[in-house]
Amino acid sequence: MKFGRIRRVVGAGLVGILAAGLIAGCSDSDDAGGDGDLEKSTLNIGTLPIPYAAPVYLAQQKGFFKEEGLTVKTEVFPGGAKALPKLIGGQIDMMVSNHVSAITSSANGTKMRILAEIDLGVEKELPVLVAKDSPIHTPADLKGKKIALNTGRNLGELTVTSALATAGVDVKKDKVTFVDVPFPAMVAALEKKSVDAIWVAEPFLTDAQKKLGARPVLDSLSGATKDLPLDGYVATDAFVKKNPKTTAAFKRAIARAQALAAQDRNAVVNILPSYAGLDKSTAASIVIGPFVTSTSATRLQRVADLMLQYGFLKEKFDVNTILG
């Protein structure tokens, strides 16, 4: 179910009905829980300064975690690459992560569990931008150019590689170079011309357009990546096995928050300034894509299959092995 549109779709339905549907689909272990019944009552959750972390903060604000006997502490990371080592090391218990990271880690031997999906990508959400006066006007013009990504061999590189292929550009043959640049530094990198283009997410997308008049030359969520599942809530397999009741409690609380985010865009807009470092006016104008209220192995398998196609995986990966 999807969430209203400024280019975004709002899923219809009442919050209670949506949440109930999610809870009904849980396993028997998900039915257990409540204060005093949990293996761990305090959770440390890593989030990102992006719109899709909003349900974590909504669950705090609305008391959904508290009703499940959970005390949640959040830590905002500039990117998933910074948070993942802390998740693996046990400094944080769960985190907001794109699915590429979770699948990559699991395929490389550190098994993750995707507890729930967060969102689907939509058009114009993750574009490749160039400076206003750039000679680059089409995807073909990106041949031989440098494109900034927040993290190499991850979601950005995968979606840009796929979208360029759809446009007839082969990243290897046409010598497209990817350069790691943190999202907060991308506007400066484009302005200084240290890169030719940037792949950027909100709220940095709006910032680049406002400050530089940056314009899109490629939609990375097009062709094979249209409506691609992007982010989810992730824990290590070891944590889930050790804390099944705590995990189930988290899933129930976050299901209610996901349903609220899917039904009420204003709830997301109003919570964004509290953790994403932007004002309410900017929060109201950014592209925010559909929050989902279910987790689909079929959807997530698209990500793994795309990773295999472009060499991010050595062999086919079954996402069913990391769900839950």
Per-residue pLDDT at 156 = 97
CATH class of 15-121+228-322: alpha beta
Number of helices and strands (H, E) in the chain? 14, 10
Per-residue pLDDT at 186 = 96
Contact 197, 90 (CB under 8 A): no
Instruction: Quote the CA–CA distance of 103 and 112 in Å, as a whole number.
Output: 8
Q: What is the pLDDT of residues 245-274, one digit of tens each?
A: 999 999 999 999 999 999 999 999 999 999
Res. 20 pLDDT band, cuts 50 70 90: very low
Mean pLDDT estimate for the chain: 90
HEC profile for 130-156? ECCCCCCCCHHHHCCCEEEECCCCCHH
| Helix/strand/coil percent split, the chain, to 5 | 45, 15, 40
Nearest Cα residue to 33 out of 62, 59, 70, 58: 70
Instruction: Quote the CA–CA distance of 316 and 107 in Å, as a whole number.
Output: 10
Question: Which residues does 261 contact at the CB level (< 8 Å), separation at least 6?
Answer: 3, 54, 55, 58, 267, 268, 291
Instruction: Quote the CA–CA distance of 284 and 270 in Å, as a whole number.
Output: 8
Whole-model pTM: value is 0.87
Res. 79 pLDDT band, cuts 50 70 90: confident
Taking the mean position of all CA atoms in its chain, how far away is CA 159? 13
CA angle 79, 2, 65 (to 5 degrees): 60
Section 93-105 average pLDDT = 97
Instruction: Quote the CA–CA distance of 154 and 196 in Å, as a whole number.
Output: 20
Q: What is the pLDDT of residues 39-78, one digit of tens each?
A: 999 999 999 999 999 999 999 999 999 999 999 999 999 8
Contact 22, 260 (CB under 8 A): no
Per-residue pLDDT at 36 = 61
Buried b (16+ CB within 10 A) or exposed e, 129-143: bbbeebebeebebbb
Instruction: Quote the CA–CA distance of 157 and 149 in Å, as a whole number.
Output: 7
Per-residue pLDDT at 107 = 98
| Structural domain spans, the chain | 15-121+228-322, 127-225
In degrees to the nearest 10, what's the CA dihedral of 92, 60, 76, 218? 120
CATH topology classification for 127-225: D-Maltodextrin-Binding Protein; domain 2 (3.40.190)
> Do 15-121+228-322 and 127-225 show the same overall fold?
yes
